[in-house]
Amino acid sequence: GEDVEQSLFLSVREGDSSVINCTYTDSSSTYLYWYKQEPGAGLQLLTYIFSNMDMKQDQRLTVLLNKKDKHLSLRIADTQTGDSAIYFCAESIGNTDKLIFGTGTRLQVFP
């Protein structure tokens, strides 16, 4: 199947790091993505990683990719209340532009 799994909910204190995990299915995915969705809004691309990379850092965001285990994670350093949202990982299917989104993780940041 094409299920991309994420844990449903994560709660962190402001200033701490958040780690959101994702398990994907298609080993031929060229790129893997992290999107953010705030309430009532569309999706915003946060970052992506090419499938032959292990890690990518982009300011407060660090993406780790374990291709053997098909595991992707997003670490947000110094998490702020404005980071509260739903985070979706997504994989591109083979060499297509079709994105399969994960089940989504709701991140709640408390002061």
Partner 1 sequence: DTEVTQTPKHLVMGMTNKKSLKCEQHMGHRAMYWYKQKAKKPPELMFVYSYEKLSINESVPSRFSPECPNSSLLNLHLHALQPEDSALYLCASSQALGSRAPYEQYFGPGTRLTVT
Footprint of partner 1 (CB under 8 A): 4, 30-31, 33, 40-45, 48, 50, 88, 92, 95-99, 101-104
Give min distance, CB of 98 to partner 1, in A. Answer: 6
Q: What is the spatial distance between Cα 54 and Cα 86, in angstroms, rounded to a whole number?
A: 24
Q: Which of 69, 66, 108 has the alpha carbon at shortest distance from 87?
A: 108
Give min distance, CB of 17 to partner 1, in A. Answer: 24
Name the residue nearer to partner 1 (CB basis): 50 or 110. 50
DSSP 29-87: -SEEEEEEE-TTS-EEEEEEEETT-SEEEETTEEEEEETTTTEEEEEESS--GGG-EEE
Name the residue nearer to partner 1 (CB basis): 76 or 89. 89
Q: What is the spatial distance between Cα 57 and Cα 42, in angstroms, rounded to a whole number?
A: 24
Q: What is the number of alpha carbons within 13 Å of residue 77 lying toward its C-beta?
A: 7
Name the residue nearer to partner 1 (CB basis): 97 or 111. 97
Give min distance, CB of 61 to partner 1, in A. Answer: 15
Name the residue nearer to partner 1 (CB basis): 2 or 16. 2
Give min distance, CB of 88 to partner 1, in A. Answer: 6
